[in-house]
Structures are given as C-alpha cells and as structure tokens.
Amino acid sequence: MTEAVKPPKKPRGKAVLLEDKCIACGARCQSVCPVDAIQMNDAGEPIVDASRCIGCLKCVKVCSVQALQMSFTPEELLILQQLAAAAPAESELPEEDPEEAALRKRLAVYRGVWVFVEQTGGEAAKVSWELLGKGKELAEARNCELAAVVMGDGVEDLCRQAIGYGAQKVYLMDAPVLHHYRTEAYQRGVCTLVEEYLPEVILMGATGLGRDLAGVVATKLATGLTADCTGLSIDEKGNLMQTRPAFGGNIMATIVCDKFRPQMSTVRPHVMTMPPFDPAAKGEIVREPVPVTEQQIPVKVLQIMMDGGGGAEVDISGAEFIVSGGRGMMGKENFAMLHDLAEVLGGVVGASRSAVDAGWMPPDRQVGQTGKTVRPKVYIACGISGAIQHL
C-alpha cells in the first residue's frame, strides 16, 4: 500500500524593504515584530535581519505605505506555484482578519474634509483660506465633500467668503456666546458638529487659537492630532499622510492616524498656497444651533485690550524678500550688511534661533520651527548651518 504524499508546507518568506518607499513613520514596523528582527537606521528606515524573521506578516500589514513586502527564494516560489495550482480557486483569497474588518467598517462611516475658519472680530485668519485650498486637494483625492466650519457672533459673511475659497458647504454657529473665543464654548460647538456629521479629516491653523482648540477637540474625540504639518496628502488606503519636522528639524516624519477618526492636523500660516477667490462660487450654508449657553461657561471675558504695536516689531511672515543671518555672522555688528542688502531688495532681515538666542536680533525676526513660518519669493540665508527650515 502506497503512503499518501504530504503536500509541501507553505513557505512564509522573509520581510524586505522596498527602495524609496519608507516614510520614516516612527518605527511602527519595529514595534510589532515579535522576534526583534527589525532595527532602525539613522534615517528612520527598518533593517530586517533575515536570519531572525519568521514571516509573520505583522510588519507588512502595519506599514501604511506598503514599503515592506515578503520575499521568497526560487525554491519557495516554486512551492507556492505548486500549492496554488493544487488548491481550489476560492482558497486563493486570504480570509480577512476579523479585527481589520471591524475597523474598516467603523471608519467607513466617516466622510468629508473640514476646515475650521478662525476669526477675530469678524475677520478671518488667512491661514483658514490657505487650508481650504489644501482641503480641496484632499477632498478630490478622497472623492468627498469639502466643508468649512464658521463660529462666532455676526459672522455669516465669512460663510460666503469660505464658499468663494472653495468650500462646498459651510456649517455656521452664530450666537453672542461665541463672540469672543473661549475654549470650552468652541470645543463644545466643534465636537457637537463632528459627532453629528462624522468628518474624516479636520484642518486648523497652527495659531494660538488653533493649537488650543485642536488639542481639546482631539482629546474630547479620542483621536489623533498632528501639529505644525508642512505637507498633507492621501495614501493608497485613503489615510491622511501628515508630514512635519521631527527631532529638532533633523528629519521629516510622516504620521498616519489609520485607526481613529477624524484625522486632525494643524498647519502654520504661509505653508500652504492661498487659493484664488471665486465670487461666483455656489455653496450651501447649514445653520446649526449652539449647544452651550453663557451660564454654562465658567470663563467670562471682562475686557479686551488690543496691542497697539508701536511699530517696534516687524512682521516677517508676509515679506516677499528676506535676508536671514545665523551664527556664522559672528556678531551683532555684522548684521548691518544684511540690513543694507534687505533695503536694496525692498525686504526685511530675518534670523536663525542661534542668532536670536545670542541677542543679535529680536525674537520677532526668528525664522524656523520655533519662530515664524515664511513664504517669500526670495530667501537668502547667510551664516546659517543648513537647518531644514532654512532650505
């Protein structure tokens, strides 16, 4: 009697990194490896020890940009071909992981890109219009609607401006309790809208108000928030890829919030391009009730004192020509030549953090991650060591 021949065991292969695919997302692949087969190099990319890899696929599944894949030897590929030929057609498709299926179903209900329109005294912050331009790109990539959120007192005119800058729909909360920005009132308003309409992406300006509001909203909604983004895009799986400087600006990290919604980002002014205004644009204004009363807000605004300015500070963020100096200028007196050059160009003088810390230039002239974000036509850096913010 002839014994039955056992089919060969299905090979598992080894994980390998595809060239130029890794986005240095923060060692997520390393964290899920059960056998410590992955180490990270100085660029934040994984190095796979093939002798330790057991082919469990965990690192491949967790990678949001599919930078890792399984590699097989010629002998293993032959076995896979034999198994595929012998197996029924329906078994060729792997069963979907129950947890992944549940996650996909939970995230599928979130739809749309939102931009929070920041305003003070009825005047919108320009970063809000810049974000509508980027939001339109994201909405087109996701094939969804772009909406704006306007909150305040007597701010309906901002809804029409938002439509002119690209919003297809505007959610308006207009009431005296929202006349001045107070964290709790605005947080309740935004969270109420999110819980009702379930957007998948929310963008806010990385201003004092935006940073405060985005943080409390993300905490209340138990979702992720990436601050000070310099790049936003959509990956193959429909997740928001949020790029920002990390480790003191030494690397650019791309962060993905793939298991929670909405995905929230703040962006500094002048990082994104201002879209053209279309006065003939059409859109829908949805008036929403304000979910909070004055009696429910413990913080009261007693007095508003406007900064007179006095002309002492210079706003470099809107300058078209900037000449910046760093530690290589060797002293405060040497900045005189930069002032002369800036005057000829019709621009202003900026500085690196090192120059500001040394007392050579005032803090309002600082350019960079801990200073101001600029978008000039011409930027000249003198004596600056090459920090990524000045390149």
Instruction: Yes or no: say if 339 and 391 are a contact pair by the CB < 8 Å rule.
Output: no
Q: CATH 3.30.70.20 spans which residues of the chain?
A: 14-92
**Of 297, 350, 342, which is closest to residue 324 (Cα–Cα)?**
350
Q: Return d(Cα 219, Cα 215) in angstroms, integer.
A: 6
Q: Return d(Cα 79, Cα 112) in angstroms, integer.
A: 46
- In 3-state terms, what secondary structure has residue 244? strand
Token pair 């938002």 in the structure block, residue: 162
Q: Return d(Cα 69, Cα 15) in angstroms, integer.
A: 6
Q: What's the order of all strands across the beta sheet hosting 225-229?
A: 225-229, 263-267, 201-205, 113-117, 146-152, 169-174, 284-287
pLDDT, position 290: 93
Name the percent of the chain lying above pLDDT 70.
91
Q: Return d(Cα 323, Cα 339) in angstroms, integer.
A: 8
Q: CATH 3.40.50.620 spans which residues of the chain?
A: 107-296
pLDDT, position 9: 79
What's the gap between Cα 250 and its chain centre? 18
pLDDT, position 181: 93
Left if phi > 0, otherwise alpha if psi is -120 to 50, otherwise beta: which for 289?
A: beta
pLDDT in tens, the chain (391 residues): 455 556 677 888 888 888 888 888 777 888 888 888 889 888 888 888 988 888 888 888 888 888 888 888 888 888 888 877 776 555 455 566 777 888 888 898 999 999 999 999 899 999 999 999 999 999 999 999 999 999 999 999 999 999 999 999 999 999 999 999 999 999 999 999 999 999 999 999 998 899 999 999 999 999 999 999 989 999 888 899 999 988 776 778 899 998 999 999 999 888 899 999 999 999 999 999 999 999 998 888 887 766 544 445 667 877 888 899 988 888 889 899 998 888 888 888 989 888 888 889 888 888 877 778 788 888 898 988 766 666 5
Instruction: Yes or no: say if 16 and 48 are a contact pair by the CB < 8 Å rule.
Output: yes
Q: CATH 3.40.50.1220 spans which residues of the chain?
A: 316-390
Tokens of 229: 């983004």
Q: Return d(Cα 187, Cα 41) in angstroms, integer.
A: 41
Instruction: Yes or no: say if 143 and 182 are a contact pair by the CB < 8 Å rule.
Output: no
Q: Which residues, 6 or more positions from 313, have their beta carbon under 8 angstroms from its beta carbon? A: 362, 364
**Of 339, 328, 336, which is closest to residue 386 (Cα–Cα)?**
328
Using CA atoms, how far residue 66 sits from 92, 98, 110, 237, 384, in Å, is 21, 21, 23, 10, 37
Q: Return d(Cα 131, Cα 206) in angstroms, integer.
A: 11
pLDDT, position 309: 47
**Of 18, 4, 23, 82, which is closest to residue 48 (Cα–Cα)?**
18
pLDDT, position 310: 46
Q: What is the CATH number of domain 107-296?
A: 3.40.50.620
pLDDT, position 188: 95
**Of 365, 348, 207, 350, which is closest to residue 271 (Cα–Cα)?**
207
**Of 168, 175, 205, 191, which is closest to residue 290 (Cα–Cα)?**
175
Instruction: Yes or no: say if 379 and 368 are a contact pair by the CB < 8 Å rule.
Output: no
Tokens of 328: 């290589």
Question: Is the backbone peptide bond immediately before 11 cis, with ω within 30 degrees of 0?
Answer: no
CATH topology of domain 14-92: Alpha-Beta Plaits (3.30.70)
Residue 169: count of CB within 10 angstroms of its CB: 19
Instruction: Yes or no: say if 243 and 107 are a contact pair by the CB < 8 Å rule.
Output: no
The whole-model pTM stands at: 0.66
Q: How far apart are the first and last CA of the chain?
A: 77
Q: Return d(Cα 127, Cα 132) in angstroms, integer.
A: 9
Pick the CATH number of 316-390 from 3.40.50.1220, 3.90.1150.10, 3.40.50.300, 3.40.640.10: 3.40.50.1220
Crossing angle of helices 208-221 and 183-197, in 10° steps, is 50
pLDDT, position 112: 95
pLDDT, position 43: 82
